Chain A
Amino acid sequence: MISNPALRYGLLLGTLIYLYFAVGSYDVNWSRVYEGLDRGWKFIAAFSHPDFSTRWTDISEGLWESVIMTVTSTVAGIAISIPIALGAASNLAPKPVYLLCRGIIAVSRALHEIIVAILMVAIFGFGPLAGFITLSFATIGFLAKLLAEDIEDMDRTQAEAIKATGAGWLQWINYGVQPQVMPRLIGLSIYRFDINFRESAVLGLVGAGGVGATLNTAFDRYEFDTAAAIIIAIIVIVMALEYTSSIVRARVQ
């Protein structure tokens, strides 16, 4: 793949030197790991007899809260993303608006959801509202970026034809641009719904609502069968969401 032999072997050598130092900086307590293997095995075994019943109210409430956060934050996130995407498309927006919107997208993409959630919990207090705001904010970085790229790729002649009829700016967006990007917008929204559910399952670790808090407690108490039950529930919901979203996306695209 790399035709220059000096560069090729240089890269290989560099990788080896890096690996030497990187692995050297690991400080693994092997006896602790060895002790842990027993517990790891217990955890794997717990998947054969997951315990849904003992903490059923906590699990079901947590999952329900996760789903609710997912629904609201996806809707709110899409509603905020659309104007930002319009502003971040270089063929629609003037330069200052473009830079501002791209800046918002960059910040939203760079900060991990958990970090945002910590700040939101500090500001708005514990509970699903902090999670809702976090996920809505994270949705912007994903949806607005991809939607803006789709708008930039659109067919100019259609938009121009609408403009030639004397349409105003809003009419131009609604009849010239929106029909071209709608299938992509629906597909992305459904995909983001998926991602938001996955993320909402961990926000509870920092107190931002959802099933993560229950999971954290289960691990802290070494209740592996409850933890296994929660993880199985998450996997099943994610698989179901992925399956429906693939069907819907295949239909609209």
Chain B
Amino acid sequence: MPVKQNNELKVWQRRDRNHQLRVWFMYLVGVAIFMYCWFVISESTTWYFVYDAPRIAADIGGRAWPPRWSYLSELWEPLWDTINVATIGTALALVFAVPVAFLAARNTTPNKTFLRPLALLIIVSSRSINSLIWALLLVSVIGPGIFAGTIAIALRSIGFTAKLLYEAIEEIDANQVEAITATGASRAQVIVYGIIPQIMPAFAGIVVFRWDINIRESTVLGLVGAGGIGLQLQSSLNILAWPQVTVILSLILVAVIISEWVSAKVRHAII
């Protein structure tokens, strides 16, 4: 513990001089990086627009109020589509995510040198690409509509659910698996009776959690043409119909809050 001699007085310090200088230097580097990044952003910003922003915001706010509630009647069908995109997308993702998770888990993978890295690669590439990018790609490949949106949601969800699921599989109690194996069960029987009952609660939790996220994501897929309520949002924005935008945003907010509430309830009931 470094102690500084100040005349007669001994003063305790947390770090000695060199260590303290190094810490300050790190702070300096951090601040310099931030300032540089901020400088770049500032360079590519038209500050005139930013000074004008409060007026613009007030203007948009003024146009958006009162909301045109009669528009709500045209929104039920897109909302139904949006929920379907999220739900069917989650279900489709599970069909692929479960086998991938079993291939990726260290204790269940049949082949550590080839299949496990392959499964991990599937998980990583599915996770790193945002569902909007998947939707963009699918709209350009199979055409616009909720089918493209569903596949996009499914592709994005595979990585997420498979990752959480394989971590759950790796944390199971090996004794139970051993007990089932000792009875002479085949590999498939071990999975069904030894592993699945142990991961079932985690699995259900992961599914509703992802479903909740997917509701949120499917509301914006329409912006790139993949169907749902985002399509209405895009067209309302294009014609600057701000009262309609208010209605759509409120509906999205309500849908997201309800889905979050449902998912929290279900997870609470399981755990």
Contacts and interface: CB of A to CB of B under 8 A. Distances in A.
A219 B130 contact: no
Interface residues of B, number: 56
A129 B49 CA distance: 11
A205 B224 contact: yes
A164 interface: no
B23 interface: no
A39 B143 CA distance: 11
A234 B129 contact: yes
Interface residues of A, number: 59
Contacts, number: 143
Interface string A53-69: 00000000000010011
B128 A239 contact: yes
Interface in B81-116: 81, 84, 87-88
Given A1-B200, A28-B147, A114-B132, A75 B88 contact: no
B37 A71 contact: yes
B54 to A, nearest CB: 9
Nearest to A197: B128
B28 interface: no
Given A27-B145, A39-B141, A22 B84 contact: yes
A234 B249 CA distance: 30
A127 B43 CA distance: 10
A152 B253 CA distance: 27
B88 A115 contact: no
Interface of A: 1, 18-19, 22-23, 25-29, 32-33, 36-37, 39-40, 43, 65, 68-69, 71-72, 75, 106, 110-112, 114-115, 118-119, 122-125, 127-129, 132, 198-199, 201-202, 205-206, 209, 212, 215-216, 219-220, 222, 227, 231, 234-235, 238-239, 242
